[in-house]
Amino acid sequence: MKKIATVVFLMVTFLSFSQKKKEILEKPYSIKDRTISVYTSADSTNLRLSNTDNLIFSDLKQPLETQLCVFVNPNSKFQTFLGIGGAITDASAEVFARLSKEKQLELLNSYYSKEKGIGYSLIRTNIHSCDFSSESYTYIKEGDTDLKSFNIDHDKIFRIPMIKRATEIAGGKINLYVSPWSPPAFMKDNNNMLKGGKLLPKYYQSWANYYVKFINAYEKEGMPVWGLTIQNEPMATQRWESCIYTAEEERDFLKNYLGPTLKNSGLGAKKITVWDHNRDLLSQRASTILDDADANKYVWGIGFHWYESWSGGDPMFENVGKVHEMYPDKNLLFTEGCVESFDANKYQLWKNGERYGRSMINDFNNGTVGWTDWNILLDEKGGPNHVGNFCFAPVHADTKSGELIYTPSYYYIGHFSKFIGNGAKRISSVASRSQLLTTSFMNKDGKIVTVVMNQSNKKLEYNLCVGTKFSAISILPHAIQTLVF
């Protein structure tokens, strides 16, 4: 009886201690004595991630319907933030190599340093060539089913050195993930890396082995690979490297070949992301793969792009939220977006930046954990690109003058990536009127980061409301602000 009493006492003591520890860890957020640092970028001004105000909170009275408000609730927590970054493609690395040493360091700091830049923590890169390469290439000799000729010497010239330097500037805290645009030509039914086509079933295993070869080769170079997507844009027949998978084909390749092959090769911990295409078909692809238990077990998340508006419609942000509702245990990752149709006369077109802000706010509010831009650097022609698919990047290099050109997109991304830390939790953030868009995160140190975007042509006054406190803030027309408190 005495032994039972002792056990009960120990259990009660342990539970009590655990509860107290949990209460300490989950101490309610207090707004008391906090100040607000306001950072602003605005159209038709020189403000670019500029500290424009430092404010205090006052007691909140019942807001009126005539007042514009942003309501932040630190007690309502959602997904954990993974990070923000961009792709280091062959094109980015080739342009980077043409810069002076001083400009190379400036570019790396501008992206990967939290203090000197905007603190990127994700890198996506291509498995052999994509459209943003100077030519089509693979890592094997054509017809080498056994992959005996596999080597990544091509990438050692430009791409690998740049990824290593970026990782170093980021303090080693980078999640690198990789994506293929097409299998080698001989593995496809059109015998061409370009213009779509499908992976022939007889090469499923050889192609799965190719991923393993690539990951092992990169890791041998001292670059840990965090994850991979199965296929870039698997429903797009492009004039560049592309390969078509139906949802069922991607599911079966994953569960019967790629998933088991990675696991059996000791790479089972790599984060596998499916789809990697637009928001329009996101739901169908997710349900086809994730409703299959044998495929589901290999899936870390669902990736998506923003190009569904090519059809003339609006971005389908709500599709992201619908998939999050259906599969809350899976991660949503924005894997690619850029402003298409390069035109050097539009370097400073403000609406290009606003496209980023609108997408990032909506995607995060719909459950996205990470956001990856496309090329981090392109030249003055929007390339190089071996099929002429020239696009914008947040930063361009004029290879004739050697200067770097920072576009509004760079600053819009920075309003998120510079201030939101990895491991932050998204919290509730709601605007009372449609002129403002907003999202909020709580960093691990307890500081809140609230992003507010003014879509209107007017300067607006709004109240930032947190619990029983508020602060009155001004935001310029077509501006984005980050509030840190």
Is the backbone of residue 318 left (phi > 0), alpha (psi -120 to 50) or beta? alpha
Query: Which residue from 238, 229, 411, 479 is spatially nearest to 336, judged by alpha carbons?
Result: 229
Beta strands 460-466; 69-80: pairing state: parallel
State residue 108 phi and psi, 5-degree precision: -65, -45
Tokens 């006492």, located at residue: 9
List, in order, residues 6 or more apart from 119 with CB less than 8 Å away.
84, 112, 113, 170, 417, 418
Three-class SS string for the chain? CHHHHHHHHHHHHHHHHHHHHHHHHCCCCCCCCCEEEEEEEECCCCCCCEEEEEEECEECCCCCCCCCEEEEEEEEEEEECCEEEEECCHHHHHHHHCCCHHHHHHHHHHHHCCCCCCCCCEEEEEECCCCCCCCCCCCCCCCCCCCCCCCCHHHHHCHHHHHHHHHHHCCCCCEEEEEECCCCHHHECCCCCECCCCECHHHHHHHHHHHHHHHHHHHHCCCCCCEEECCCCCCCCCCCECCCCCHHHHHHHHHHHHHHHHHHCCCCCCEEEEEEEECCCHHHHHHHHHCCHHHHCCEEEEEEECHHHHHCCCCCHHHHHHHHHHCCCCEEEEEECCCCCCCHHHCCCHHHHHHHHHHHHHHHHCCEEEEEEEECEEECCCCCCCCCCCCCCCEEEECCCCEEEECHHHHHHHHHHCCCCCCCEEEEEEECCCCEEEEEEECCCCCEEEEEEECCCCCEEEEEEECCEEEEEEECCCEEEEEEC
Cα-to-chain-centroid distance, residue 442: 18
Rounded Cα distance, 441 and 159, in Å: 33
> Of these residues, 94, 250, 336, 354, which one is catalytic?
336
> Of these residues, 94, 233, 250, 308, which one is catalytic?
233
CA-derived radius of gyration, the chain: 24
Residues linked to residue 70 through DSSP beta bridges, in sequence order: 431, 464
Cα-to-chain-centroid distance, residue 215: 20
Say whether 336 is catalytic: yes
Q: Which residues are catalytic?
A: 233, 336
